[in-house]
Structure 1
Amino acid sequence: MKKERFLKLGLSMAAILLLSACGGKEKDSGAADDGGPTKITWMNMLHTPSPPTDVIVDKIEEATNTELTFNWIPDASKEERLTTALASDELADIVTITIMQNSSVRNALKSGMFWDVKDYLKDYDNLKKISDERIETASIDGHVYGVPIQKDLARSGLVIRKDWLDKLGLEVPTTMDELYEVAKQFTENDPDGNGKDDTVGFGDRAPTDIKYSSFKLFTSYFGAPNGWKIEKDGTFTPEFETPEYMEALNFSRDLFKNGYLAQDFAVTQKTDQQQQFAQGKAGIYTGMIDIKNLKTMAKGIQDEMELVPVNKISTGDGEYHVWSENGGVGGLLAFPKSVVKDEAHLKRLLQFVNYLIDEDVFYYMTGGIEGTHYKMDENGALEYLDMDLWQQDVQPLSSSRPSEITYKVKDASPEKQLANELVVENEKYAVLDPTFSLDSEKANEVGSEIQKIITDATVQYMMGQIDEKEFDKAVADWKAQGGDQMAKEYAEAYKTAQKSK
């Protein structure tokens, strides 16, 4: 059976939504009367250029006794597509929600549009193992409006050119001072040995991606809070009003001023940042989990490249911190009441999601079919046999796994395997955003908009375009335009949450 996929290039937004809506109604959801496959529609996020072929989808259907119809939403347009679908109530049995902090999405969740599944999770062998911490992170006012998508707590870290360290007689850095020195040496001392002044310590990316930039990681290393700090009296202080944030700002400012941070970072996208690293123009990359991709991209260009992942950098006190992107929750698999009309239907869908966490289905969605897409080497590591085939059949589904942590796949690449192990180690040092599960009407209303004030001021300060007084003026503007109200509402929500425990 061929699955319908409604990713049509060139179609208008209205046409895509219409197709998605029609696709969700072509089959009656629920189990067949004869005990046949459960028919399920799934509005899901697509992180690849094309949807998957039927190969792995067929395997998932067989393992879960379902017939699946996917309504794919390209990740690049997820905010527009998802908010439009929510407003029009054109949804599917399962809706993947990865932007829980989006105001329209959050308001839809709070409105009662989706089933609260908190009390149902305990009835399923895989779902009941979701940690209390992740349940709390995924909660809104004590309700869990979907199955939490389980992710690693903190994946951030650095990738450093080990061959450049060796050439310059440098050790892998463990402190901020040592990291600064490595960036300096990589810029000034010709680490590639070509006799040209054509390398820089840190590559980086555009301000729109500042959460995934070197600067965000620096704030962790200096001990800044992740988003907000809860004071002893229960009040909330934004991260950019802490001394540690300013230390990170000044560190980045010095890097940029001296040329140790890429001078074009403000107009560089992630793919360009990766290309610059792969081409040997930069020696430090922020994004530890990308280490294998960087090595692959460098083939034929920098075949001598040796890389080392680094997750622990302190200020010299031996204390380690790393920011957590989402508190171990990558979103929700949510069930709209307009489509899922009764408890029996909900339970069939929960059972399907539970099946997706089974080991056999996890491997289908991770590696594909053993012997076709991958093999296990003598050390028990997964080794891909045909990357092009894997990208067509498997990769689009890998980001749809309800859990990335229940099973861990050993990687055949030693560098990538070490990075994976460091991601697990990061759990000990993870700094969570305390507002992730709290609600603020003002944040829902203007949070994303006024964050741009701080992002712009942060980048301008790093580049030496404004001074500390002007940065403080931006903070005052943020407060006046809603920041102060957000802090008050978060404090009230936190107080209420503490009382209910």
Structure 2
Amino acid sequence: MKKGIAMKKGVSGLLAVLMVMSVFLAACGDKGAEDQSSQTYDPKSKLEFTWLNVLHTASPPTETIKSKIEEYTNSKITFNWVPDASKEERITTALASGELADMVTLTMMTNSSVRSSLKSGLFWDVGKYLDDYENLKKIPPEVREAASIEGVLYGVPFQKNLARAGLVIRQDWLDRLGLKVPTTLDELYEVARAFTEDDPDGNGKNDTTGFVDRSDLRYSSFKTLSSYFGTPNGWKVDESGKFTPEFDTPQYMETLKYSQKLYKNGYLSKDFAVTAKTDQQQQFAQGKAGIYTGMIDISNLRTLSQGLQKGLKLVPVNKISNGDGKYHVWSEGSGVGGLLAFPKSEVKTEAELKRLLQFVDDLIDKDVYMYMTGGIEGTHYKIEKDGAFKIIDTDLWQADVQPFSSSRPSEVTYNLKDANPEKELANELVRENNKFAVLDPTVPLDSVTANEQGTELEKIITDASFKFIMGELDEAGFKAAVENWKKSGGARITAEYEEAYKKSKK
């Protein structure tokens, strides 16, 4: 009996020792982690990392420019390219599974899965580090604020112009039909009619239409037309702080009716609801339509049209009023194109984070900016005597350089004069858009319900809008869809935005 008691005491003593040792080791481990996270880093050290990035071209880039970027930044990059057409599914799946890279390009800032992942603490808060870097410290406070969620910056903001929306119209078709560049929605409708019914290409066939479009309310003609009508960008907020979703306003309904009329008369491509962006561009390049939404794509449209359209002349258009002479254009993200974010699961220490931030800072240097914009001088581009930037070999540029252009952390740090007058005018109009850009008041705000259900609820409105445009839903049916949105969680989203807005004003 006494022996048993002794054994128990021995075991208890041993357990006590082990517990003390485990606590000691854990403390050492924590201290080691602290030491590791606060260790200094060498900004010039070799960096090997993975980058989950969005691909806006048909094929990934060759190694030519990648090797130049790696040489300049002393890095070895392994890209995981996600096609733009499938980015929503691929990125949300990666976030859910935790299968991420050291650096992740997040462009869908209104996506509920993305916002939920950011708020969950999955990514590093980089706000306190930016001022330690030569280029990153120049990111304006308003851009940092717009890119933050409840005051926390979960990645380096992609800096873009406030508003890039606008139209590209066939100037040669306007000239052939004796029409002027439209300045009002009524004039634009007449151009769409004429491009459909009056044989603008002169081939004697009924084979053209006005608007070529795609299955995306936000980046198709609809959002741009909506802003021309004076629709709020995402949400309207009045002086009392009351929020109203854009689709519950008279201007949104006016846009629906305008688009429905275009569609019914054949002035809007009949297959728009099932058309991808690349197909939309091809249809325009093949001369099947004369109005394209996306002013910044003007150079690409001309390139795609080479050998297909003789005498092609394009004109970018950014100022269309509803008849009152006032201009509005929606701003995508208030000058923020997304985030370069760093998952804590992959980037485990502060030293690693700082080295990656140095890499992003290096990308904004002019040398790397030119690699990602033009390529190698003398091979891909040249600078004309008047200082204009000109691509030498379009095919080579598309293969080596173009896929990198959308990955530049800043599109506003440098301005290049484009040798293509059409593109240069488009660039000027994008900058002019700053004067009448309409911002989304919810960009810096947060709603738990929107994070959890926003993308799902958005489909209710998207489906109803498409059906209305195609004549499958009347005004009462659309309003019923809005009420369904409210009952399904939209009312909570509205209330949460109102509460967040009030807090932000204190």
State whether TM-score is above 0.5: yes
Partner of 2:270: 263
Contact 1:31 1:38 in 2 (8 A): no
Contact 1:151 1:403 in 2 (8 A): yes
Q: Distance in 2 between matches of 1:170 and 1:33?
A: 62
SS across alignment from 2:205: coil
Correspondence 1:316 to 2:335: no
Contact 2:130 2:136 in 1 (8 A): yes
Q: Which residue identity lines up with residue 123 of structure 1 in the other structure?
A: D
Correspondence 1:228 to 2:235: yes
Partner of 2:143: 134
| Superposition deviation, residue 386 in structure 1 | 2.3
CA distance 1:497–1:96, shift in 2 (3 Å): same
Q: Distance in 1 between matches of 2:261 and 2:83?
A: 38
Correspondence 1:101 to 2:107: no
Q: Which residue identity lines up with residue 357 of structure 1 in the other structure?
A: I
Q: Could you say which structure has the larger radius of gyration?
A: 2
Correspondence 1:303 to 2:335: no
Q: Distance in 1 between matches of 2:61 and 2:305?
A: 27
| Superposition deviation, residue 54 in structure 1 | 2.7
Moved more, 476-485 or 176-185: 176-185
Q: Distance in 2 between matches of 1:43 and 1:378?
A: 39
Contact 2:168 2:295 in 1 (8 A): yes
Partner of 1:62: 71
Q: Which runs of 5+ in 2 are unaligned?
A: 1-35
| Superposition deviation, residue 148 in structure 1 | 0.5
Moved more, 356-365 or 252-261: 252-261
Instruction: Count matched residues.
Output: 470
Correspondence 1:476 to 2:473: no
| Superposition deviation, residue 121 in structure 1 | 1.2
Q: Distance in 1 between matches of 2:231 and 2:488?
A: 23
Contact 1:31 1:37 in 2 (8 A): no
Q: Distance in 1 between matches of 2:53 and 2:483?
A: 40
Partner of 1:169: 178
**Deviation >6 Å, runs of 4+:** 28-35
Partner of 1:12: none
Contact 2:116 2:452 in 1 (8 A): no
Moved more, 291-300 or 36-45: 36-45
Partner of 2:393: 386
Partner of 2:422: 415
Correspondence 1:160 to 2:169: yes
Q: Given the two structures, how large is their TM-score scaled by the length of structure 1?
A: 0.88
Correspondence 1:465 to 2:472: yes
Q: Which residue identity lines up with residue 158 of structure 2 in the other structure?
A: I
Q: Distance in 1 between matches of 2:451 and 2:210?
A: 38
| Superposition deviation, residue 310 in structure 1 | 0.3
| Superposition deviation, residue 131 in structure 1 | 1.8
Partner of 2:433: 426
| Superposition deviation, residue 35 in structure 1 | 6.4
| Superposition deviation, residue 34 in structure 1 | 12
Correspondence 1:123 to 2:132: yes
Q: Distance in 2 between matches of 1:31 and 1:71?
A: 29
Q: Distance in 1 between matches of 2:269 and 2:497?
A: 37
| Superposition deviation, residue 479 in structure 1 | 0.9
Partner of 1:186: 195
Q: Which runs of 5+ in 1 are unaligned?
A: 1-27
Q: Distance in 2 between matches of 1:455 and 1:398?
A: 30
Q: Which residue identity lines up with residue 128 of structure 1 in the other structure?
A: K
Correspondence 1:291 to 2:298: yes
Contact 1:146 1:334 in 2 (8 A): yes
Percentage identity across aligned positions? 68
SS across alignment from 1:210: coil
Residues 205-240 of structure 1: CA distance to partner in whole angstroms, max 9, x if unpaired? Answer: 22xx11112121111001100111112211210111
Contact 2:41 2:354 in 1 (8 A): no
Q: Distance in 2 between matches of 1:51 and 1:84?
A: 21
| Superposition deviation, residue 434 in structure 1 | 1.5
SS across alignment from 1:194: coil
Correspondence 1:359 to 2:366: yes
Contact 1:31 1:39 in 2 (8 A): no
Q: Distance in 1 between matches of 2:341 and 2:479?
A: 41
